[in-house]
Amino acid sequence: MPIEVDLDNRIFHLCSRNASYVMTVTREGYLAHLYWGKRLTASSSLLRVLAPISRPFSPTSEHNSLWSLDLLPQEYPGFGHGDMRAPAYQVLLSDGTTVVDPRYRGYRIMAGKPALSALPHIRASSSEDAESLEMELEDVYSRLHIILSYTVLNKLDVVVRSVKFVNHSANPMRLLRALSVTVDFPEQPWEIISLPGAWGRERWVQRISLGQGMVSQESRRGTSSHQANPFWAMVNPGTTEESGKVFAFNLVYSGNFLAFSDLDQYGQVRSGMGINPFDFSWHLEPEETFQTPEAVLVYSDQGLDHMSRTFHDLYREHLYQGPWKQRDRPILINNWEATYFSFTEEKLLDIALTASGLGIELFVLDDGWFGNRNNDRQALGDYDVNRDKLPHGLGALAEKVNQQGLDFGLWVEPEMVSPDSELYRRHPDWCLHVSGRSSSWGRNQLVLDLSRLDVQNWIIETLSKVFRRANISYVKWDMNRSLTETGSSALPRERQQETAHRYVLGLYHILDELTHLFPHVLFEGCSGGGGRFDPGILYYMPQIWTSDTTDAAERAKIQYGTSLVYPPVAMTAHVSQIPNHQVGRITPLAARHWIAMSANFGYELDLADLTSEEQIRVANYVRFYKSTLRKLVQWGEFSRLQDPFNTNGVSWMFSDREQNEMVVVYLCLKTESNPNRTWIKLRHLDSRSRYRVRGCTLKPEEEGAWEAIAGDELMNVGLGVWPRQDYFTQSWHLVREKGGEGGGF
């Protein structure tokens, strides 16, 4: 059973395939954390980790000078009652104090996993998939109840945690801090891996040593942000892709968050993650509840590769559950970098016609199709079709695109409004604002107050009309600025610090309604590129525009970092024009294709500007993606083979689940004079099988012969490449030979 209970010792043992997570109720009634790591066969002797030690300046119990919460590893610690470390929660009571002391009240075990109301969550309703545990704590003085939820995924080394607060008193109280998870770790050397960044260079891999004090990553921007990502991993020094222990956290949330690790004076480490307590509070009237977002905990004793595969499997199978979960994602052409705001119906149809002839499957109309939207300074929010550009309307354009053999998609940015718009002139109070204060602008726009139900309903109704106006099969949902002046005219004074979280809840309500109203539509998330790339968005939208940067060399780093947590099927990437519009770099057509084809694949350029020879090559890439690579990117497994942050190149591998077919991609970022040969060592092959290997030039006249190589040789010697110039690419197609160990082609 995934959850074992030893009532004699009051030990709760959560077992996944390869991991154990263990807690106990102490004699004093506190919920103590005993262990998280490699699976244990038994847990009864783990109580010895709580053996008391006398420590100066650690507050103790009046009844036991060795007992101190400051030394106890806890499941969900508070502050003010002896534990001097960072707390998981803080509550302001009606008497003005913040000291609460919750003790164990009871537990409940359930088959499957309960759904969360109004929040995205990991889905595992079947008892075959998961088992769940609720631990209830109670502070008898304030009558605050805290319910800790744990779910164990049977087939994955995953624990999902969340927390619910219930005010059972007769007085209001206010949550000042409500993290989704904390875990206390014993003394040992640690390194922290996180994914900070900026617009245009999201989710770069950062790895630092943990010294005494606190290390954190956070967003205060209203979204998970370009600058941070709600991912946090603790690793032992020396941990690699293939070996070492990893303890990873990921928050299923799209707003302000905090992730931290705090190393105290005795070497104990407390790590936590949840809604950022900065500028947050939540008012709880009697009998009201507050539910935190879920946090996903992943353990690996096989390095970062196994951690990533666990996250990838979890999010592919247990997050998004709409029709596009099993459908092939279309190859698209987006008009944005080809035309920006300046287009006509004729120009759009020319782009679509060229794309159709090259095998592309979907045409996407980006910004500029509505209102008086000829630049980014006006008309955002006015979703009537611009008849000067599209004289026959959106429906007619979609029909003409369909006649050319392509599906039709549309860009929207419904969370924003231009001050120069009819919507703003009608409803200036619908924006986030603080009375008496001027409002900050971003991309010449303001933010609609999604905490308001009337604004939510307007967005749902307006977009529903747009989506019914034409045969739309894809929607790109953009969001191009951070939240500022985060106040709401619809909330009372005592609830103003709820606005940022209510904004996120409002967004989730809108997405839930629209994805149910239009299940056939493939929704793609975007926030100035990858500014809101998190599991909360992926719950509703199965893919996200990874970055506004389309340069192959920059994207290699962005997609590499993103892959630590999120599967390639969650990313989108486009081949764009050169010189690149973001960095001015000129990269070969092959480099742009192999990086873009390493995700959900598309184009963002005027294909008519390509030479006839280049168009032939584009058609070859499209055919290869359709016939071979798409199924591996979307449904297969992914491994990182070369790190672009510490070497001059990047390499990764896609394979089917049985390791019968693979594609390996290599890109040289920067070569040197008289370079050495680089060897790319593969992973997860059958060492006893032989594999037919051929380089993929996708130029018929240059394709080499298949070469048979043993699996152990490919993993221990590798594939050789000679990087003769910057942005040189080499890719290989591998097929396991028939009759090889474990089957094959």
* Average pLDDT value for residue range 181-191: 94
Residue identified by tokens 């941990």 is 239
Beta carbons of 485 and 440 less than 8 angstroms apart:
yes
Amino acid at 613: E
* Average pLDDT value for residue range 436-461: 97
Give the contacts of 84 (CB within 8 A, at least 6 positions apart).
58, 59, 70, 264
Query: Residue 543: is its pLDDT beyond 60?
Result: yes
Phi, psi at 69, each rounded to 5°: -65, -20
pLDDT, one tens digit per residue, over 547-600 is 999 999 999 999 999 999 999 999 999 999 999 999 999 999 999 999 999 999
When pLDDT is cut at 50, 70 and 90, the band that residue 126 belongs to is confident
Query: DSSP letter at 331?
Result: P
Structure confidence at residue 745 (pLDDT): 36
When pLDDT is cut at 50, 70 and 90, the band that residue 154 belongs to is confident
- Tally DSSP H helices, then E strands, for the chain: 13, 38
Query: Residue 95: is its pLDDT beyond 70?
Result: yes
3-state SS, one letter per residue, for 10-25: CEEEEECCCEEEEEEE
Q: Is the sign of the CA dihedral 599, 605, 610, 616 positive or negative?
A: positive
Query: DSSP letter at 28?
Result: T
Closest CA to 121 of 292, 276, 324, 322: 292
Q: Is the sign of the CA dihedral 457, 462, 466, 468 positive or negative?
A: positive
Q: Which strand (E) or helix (H) includes residue 74?
A: none
pLDDT, one tens digit per residue, over 249-277 is 999 999 999 999 999 999 999 999 999 99
pLDDT, one tens digit per residue, over 628-653 is 999 999 999 999 999 999 999 999 99
Q: What is the pTM of this model?
A: 0.96
CA 318 distance to own-chain centroid: 14
- Three-class secondary structure of residue 415 per DSSP: coil
- Three-class secondary structure of residue 718 per DSSP: coil
When pLDDT is cut at 50, 70 and 90, the band that residue 83 belongs to is confident
| Cα–Cα distance, 570 to 57 (Å, whole number) | 49
- Three-class secondary structure of residue 434 per DSSP: coil
When pLDDT is cut at 50, 70 and 90, the band that residue 88 belongs to is very high
Structure tokens that stand for 230 in this block: 């709600």
Catalytic pick among 184, 305, 548, 726 = 548
Q: What is the mean pLDDT of the chain?
A: 95
Closest CA to 163 of 150, 172, 176: 150
Residue identified by tokens 């109203």 is 517
Catalytic pick among 449, 478, 534, 686 = 478
Degrees to nearest 5, angle at CA 420 with 417 and 421: 60
- On the question of a cis peptide bond just before residue 77, with omega within 30 degrees of 0, the verdict is no
pLDDT, one tens digit per residue, over 354-393 is 999 999 999 999 999 999 999 999 999 999 999 999 999 9
When pLDDT is cut at 50, 70 and 90, the band that residue 60 belongs to is low
| Cα–Cα distance, 49 to 53 (Å, whole number) | 11
Distances (CA, A) of 67 to 8, 101, 394, 465: 22, 15, 71, 64
| Cα–Cα distance, 494 to 498 (Å, whole number) | 9
Binding residues are 199, 366-367, 443, 476-480, 526, 548
pLDDT, one tens digit per residue, over 719-729 is 999 998 999 99
Query: Residue 46: is its pLDDT beyond 90?
Result: no
Structure confidence at residue 6 (pLDDT): 92
Domains recognised in the chain with CATH numbers? 3-50+63-318 (2.70.98.60), 323-414+457-479+520-635 (3.20.20.70), 642-736 (2.60.40.1180)
Catalytic residue status for 643? no
Catalytic residue status for 548? yes
Binding residues for substrate are 199, 366-367, 443, 476-480, 526, 548
